[in-house]
Chains A and B, each alone.
Chain A
């Protein structure tokens, strides 16, 4: 489990903090979602969780970050990367460019860890199978679609067998099919016991995989709870977070003077149509 306690962060050169005394638990085997308006601090929280801030991008961090009850605040990046890995928005920008095939790209992280060759091959094969990209093994990752590239990146992160996976809007650049494939892979990964922290603007996408949500606004976590608890809160919508389709329909019914309970009365599984004569 990854734990933040009273974490504040200020970017290098900034005059004020971007995050203010944030506390959050990211439990193992579960997907913790981050929602909130643009500029709320979701991506910053992801950079901190992945160890990139302040280790790589600089800035000032106050507070405590623990991994399974061990304080990792002082760990160097390469040590943390053996346990926590991060996926970013742009899939093409995350490719190593030193790999000519998808297989080599997936094996890039484990090779950096200095593992034995047979273990790297096993890890890369397993990760590709988990994500469902075995058929792409020999393809050039630079020539794949955005969705396929994001799956390759995800497989590469999974091959490192992290205890925590941090994903910052991994489906931002993807179409519906690519989004579904990535979300399925994330759900499968959390099933293996990995703690997943995922920030996402598209609420419906996040709600389909998240076990719990944290609402980030103005550099603070203003609400935490189950997906329903956070998204059904009127304050969430007021902050500009996109409501789920069903939630939007209830709001419109209410605005039109109709009872939203009508939706609950509607048959969930309509009877099949009679065949035409």
Chain B
């Protein structure tokens, strides 16, 4: 499964050239809108415009669809089983509800993967700092994004070390469960220690200094993008109000 940043294939694509804050706004708004929108057609249209089109522009369509499917698959399968096999109404009703939920989950997963696959964590941090976010907040966000591959790498190292010392990570399920415990504890404790050490290292480089700091490579923000970001937020707000007031949706 691809969970790391996918570098630009050719020269910078129009999508990659956008300010990361704009990409983040599109991603978060798509995920929220997927929840707010009803039916199957609306979320599909939303996914086409806000996920498929940008992913194609960025040259990562295949990766986004594949990873999005893999992420959504476990939840989608369970939703289908529960709604079709154990539906309180007719089977057709169960299928309709399952389809609605699956489309929403797929759209949300693909939107998250698109953002993750086209935005370097450092790019996002620089953009957020450029727009006035606190360094501590950006560091927390960055570590949230960068933590998954780092933890996976650490878990691989710990697994190799434990296997070298005779830990059996294959065979029956009870054995594997014992192996998971022996890997999980050092992985988590090691990660905590690493965070402590990194905190000291950041403090000594004036990371906690109040006031503005210099963004070496400012993001490519434009007036058009600023208008688009505000437009997306307003549209989301309108959708939310329409949804709670019971107004009919366009599709």
Contact = CB atoms under 8 A, between A and B. Distances in A.
Interface of A: 47, 50-52, 55-57, 77-78, 81-82, 85-86, 88, 90, 93-100, 104, 107-117, 120-121, 153, 156-157, 160
Contacts of A56: 199-200, 203
B201 A160 contact: no
B198 A93 contact: yes
B170 interface: no
Interface of B: 120-122, 125-126, 135, 138-139, 142-143, 146, 194, 197-217
Nearest to B199: A56
Contacts, number: 100
Contact of A111 (B143, B204, B214): B214
Contacts of A99: 122
28 contacts: A47-B200, A52-B200, A55-B203, A56-B199, A56-B203, A77-B208, A78-B206, A78-B208, A81-B206, A82-B206, A93-B198, A95-B198, A95-B201, A96-B201, A96-B205, A97-B142, A97-B198, A98-B122, A98-B125, A98-B138, A98-B142, A99-B122, A100-B120, A104-B122, A108-B205, A112-B206, A113-B209, A157-B204
Contacts of A94: 197-198, 201
Majority secondary structure, B binding face? helix
Contacts of A156: 205
A81 B213 CA distance: 14
B200 A57 contact: yes
A78 B216 contact: no
A78 B202 CA distance: 10
Nearest to A77: B203
Contacts of B146: 97
A107 B200 CA distance: 18
A86 to B, nearest CB: 4
A113 B204 contact: no
A223 to B, nearest CB: 28
Given A88-B197, A90-B197, A94-B201, A114 B208 contact: no
Contacts of B194: 93
Contacts of A51: 204
B205 A85 contact: yes
B214 A116 contact: yes
A95 B150 CA distance: 13
B194 to A, nearest CB: 5
Contacts of A120: 214, 216
Nearest to A166: B204
Contacts of A95: 198, 201
A168 to B, nearest CB: 10
A111 B197 contact: no
User: Which of A55, A110, A112 counts the most B-chain CB atoms under 10 A from its CB?
Assistant: A112
Contact of B211 (A88, A93, A114, A116): A114
User: Which of B194, B197, B198, B204 counts the most A-chain CB atoms under 10 A from its CB?
Assistant: B204
Contacts of B199: 56
Nearest to A107: B216
A109 B216 contact: no
